[in-house]
Amino acid sequence: PQIAVLARGPTGIGKSHIVHQIGDRLDMEVIDRRLSQMTEGDIIGLPELVDGVTRFAPIDWFVRACNEPVILFFDELNRATIEVQQCAFQIVLDRELNGHKLHPETRVYAGSCFIASFLCNNPGTNSSRLVNMGQKNKKNRSVNDIFY
């Protein structure tokens, strides 16, 4: 469960379906989030004032992933805004967000189309993290280094 898996391929080949089949087989609920439809507040939470200090209140689905074993599926990673991608990468790499840690048995999967469409949809993307989705690059940490 500690290894994040990236399902990559053209639209419509069944990446999402496979993740849901894994959930059925493992008898785990799949929390399916389309990152392309999210803003930072949808993933990091909204600010709240507690005892005179501002903090981000975690989103309900993320709290569930911290409290019980589920499969988190971040679909359309390639179409998300940079801010949403960075939050997703923190969850993938650190298994936490804003101090809230995922349940040890929660699994993380992501779905993405090919890198060419990723760079076209996100021209300001930090290519050193993303350009090598299909190939390893020993100089730069890429998405391949983040996902299995």
Q: How confident is the model at residue 24, as a pLDDT?
A: 97
The residue among 70, 80, 5 whose CA lies nearest residue 43 is 80
Considering the chain, what is the average pLDDT of its residues?
82
The residue among 51, 1, 7 whose CA lies nearest residue 32 is 7
Residues in the chain predicted with pLDDT less than 70, given as ranges, are: 1, 114-148
Q: How confident is the model at residue 134, as a pLDDT?
A: 39
pLDDT tens digits for range 14-24: 999 999 999 99
Q: How confident is the model at residue 3, as a pLDDT?
A: 84
pTM of the full structure: 0.76
Distances (CA, A) of 77 to 37, 49, 86, 88: 10, 31, 10, 8
